[in-house]
Structure 1
Amino acid sequence: MSEEFAAAGAGITGSGPLKGVTVLDITRVVAGPFCSMLLADLGATVIKVEHPDDPDYARTFPPFVSGDDEEFSAFFTQFNRNKLGITLDMKSAEGKTLLRKLVRRADVLVENFRPGTMDRLGLGYEVLKKENPRLIYTAISGFGRTGPNASRPSYDNTGQAAGGLWSMNGYADRPPVRVGTIIGDLAASLYAAIGTLAALREAERGGEGQVVDISQQDSVLTLTENAVVRYTTQGDVASPLGNDHPFVRPYGQFPCKDGYVFFGGYTDKFWKITCELFGEPEVANDPEIDTMEKRFDRDVAERRVKPILERWFSKYTKVELEELAGDRVPLSAIKTIAEVVEDPHIAARDMIVKVPVAGKLVRMFGLPIKLSGTPGNACAKAPNPGEHNTFVYSRLVGLTPEEVRKLSDEGVI
Structure 2
Amino acid sequence: MPLDFPSATGTSCTPADAPRGPLAGLKVLDITRVVAGPYCAMLLADLGATVIKVEHPDDPDYARTFPPFVAGEDAGLSAFFTQFNRNKLGISLNMKTEEGKALLKRLVREVDVLVENFRPGTMEKLGLGYEVLRLENPKLVYTAISGFGRTGPNSSRPAFDNTGQAAGGLWSMNGYADRPPVRVGTIIGDLAASLYAAIGTLAALRVVEKGGEGQVVDISQQDSVLSLTENAVVRYTTKGEVATPLGSEHPFVRPYGQFPCKDGYVFFGGYTDKFWRLTCQMFGEPEVAADPAIDTMEKRFDPVVAETRVRPILERWFSTYTKAELEEMAGDTIPLSAIKTIAEVVEDPHIAAREMIVNVPLGAEMVRMFGQPVKLSATPATTFAKAPDVGEHNALVYGDLAGLSAEDLARLADQGAI
TM-score relative to the length of structure 1: 0.97
Q: Give me the whole-angstrom Cα distance separating, in 2, the residues matched to 1:70 and 1:259.
A: 38
1:138-157 Cα distance to aligned partner (Å, 9 max, x none): 00000000000000000000
Indicate if the aligned counterparts of 2:4 and 2:14 stay in contact, CA closer than 8 A. no
Q: Name the structure 2 match of 1:143.
A: 148
Matched, 1:254 2:259: yes
Q: Distance in 2 between matches of 1:190 and 1:335?
A: 24
C-alpha displacement of 1:6: 4.8
- Post-superposition offset of 1:66: 1.3
Given the superposition, is the C-alpha separation of residues 315 and 113 from structure 1 closer, same or farther in structure 2, using an over 3 Å criterion? same
Instruction: Name the counterpart of 1:394.
Output: 399
Q: What is aligned with 1:283?
A: 288
- Asked if 1:63 is matched to 2:68, the reply is yes
Partners of 1:19 and 1:206 lie apart in 2 by: 19
1:64 is paired with a residue whose SS is: coil
Q: C-alpha separation between the residues in 2 aligned to 1:392 and 1:206?
A: 27
Secondary structure at the aligned position of 1:392 is classed as helix
Partner of 1:347: 352
Report the Cα distance in structure 2 between the residues aligned to 1:175 and 1:71, rounded to whole angstroms. Answer: 37
**Matched residue SS, 1:206:** coil
Partner of 2:194: 189
Inter-partner Cα distance in structure 2 for 1:227 and 1:303: 26
- Pick the aligned partner of 1:5 from 3, 6, 21: 3
For residues 87-166 of structure 1, the aligned pairs below 5 Å read 87-166=92-171
Asked if 1:174 corresponds to 2:172, the answer is no
Say if 1:17 and 1:42, in contact at 8 Å, map to a contact too: yes
CA distance in 1, matches of 2:152, 2:285: 58
Cross-structure match for 2:412: 407
Is residue 2:308 matched to residue 1:303?
yes
**5+ unaligned residues in a row in structure 2: which ranges?**
7-11
What residue in structure 2 maps to residue 22 of structure 1? Answer: 27
Whole-Å separation in 2 of the counterparts to 1:385 and 1:404 = 15
- 1:23 shift after superposition: 0.2
Q: Residue 385 of structure 1 corresponds to which residue in structure 2?
A: 390
Contact 2:204–2:215 (Cα < 8 Å) also in 1: yes
Quote the Cα distance in structure 1 between the aligned partners of 2:31 and 2:79.
20
Segment drifting more, 159-168 vs 8-17: 8-17
Whether 1:321 and 2:319 are equivalent positions in the alignment is no
Question: 1:70: how far off?
Answer: 4.1
SS in 2 for 1:379: coil
What is the match of residue 210 of structure 2?
A: 205
Q: Contact (CA 8 Å) 2:250, 2:256: kept in 1 or not? A: yes
Q: Is the 8 A contact 1:14 1:82 kept in 2?
A: no
Q: CA deviation at 1:404?
A: 1.0
**Letter of the aligned partner of 1:106 in structure 2?**
V
Q: CA offset at residue 402 of structure 1?
A: 1.6
Matches of 2:310 and 2:136, distance apart in 1: 65
Pair 78,378 (structure 1): closer, same or farther in 2 beyond 3 Å = farther
Per-residue CA deviation, residues 290-340 of structure 1 (Å, 9 max, x unaligned), is 000000000000001000000000010000000000010100000000000
Q: Write the deviation string for residues 33-64 of structure 1: whole angstroms up to 9, x where unpaired.
A: 00000000000000000000000000000000
In structure 2, distance between residues paired with 1:213 and 1:301? 44
Alpha-carbon distance in structure 2 between the residues aligned to 1:242 and 1:125: 44
Equivalent residue, structure 2, for 1:335:
340
What CA distance in whole angstroms lies between the structure 2 residues aligned with 1:390 and 1:351?
33
Residues 329-386 of structure 1: CA deviation (Å, up to 9, x unaligned): 1000000000000000000000000000112000000000000011013510000000
Aligned AA for 2:324?
Answer: V
Q: Could you tell me whether the CA contact under 8 Å between 2:372 and 2:381 is conserved in 1?
A: yes
Check the 8 A contact 1:43/1:377 in 2, yes or no.
no
Contact in 2 for aligned 1:14/1:44 (Cα 8 Å): no
Q: What letter corresponds to residue 366 of structure 1 in structure 2?
A: G
Mapped to 1, the partners of 2:3 and 2:354 lie a distance apart of 31
Equivalent AA in structure 1 for residue 87 of structure 2: N
User: Residue 57 of structure 2 is aligned with which of 49, 52, 67?
Assistant: 52
Is 1:237 aligned to residue 242 of structure 2?
yes
CA contact (8 A) 2:19 2:383 kept: no
Whole-Å separation in 1 of the counterparts to 2:401 and 2:75: 29
CA contact (8 A) 1:70 1:358 kept: no
Q: Secondary structure at the match of 1:260?
A: strand
Residues 3, 396 of structure 2: 8 Å contact kept: no
- 1:234 and 1:378, CA in 2 relative to 1: closer, same or farther beyond 3 A? farther
Query: Residues 193 and 65 from structure 1, CA distance in 2 versus in 1: closer, same or farther, beyond 3 angstroms?
Result: same
Q: CA offset at residue 409 of structure 1?
A: 2.5
Output the CA distance in 2 between the equivalents of 1:10 and 1:60: 28
Query: CA–CA distance in 2 between the matches of 1:234 and 1:265?
Result: 27
The alignment partner of 2:77 has SS state of: strand
**Aligned-residue CA RMSD in angstroms?**
1.4
**TM-superposed deviation, 1:407:** 1.2
Shift in Å, 1:11: 4.9
Q: Secondary structure at the match of 2:210?
A: helix
Q: Are the equivalent residues in 1 in contact too, given 2:38–2:84 (CA < 8 A)?
A: yes
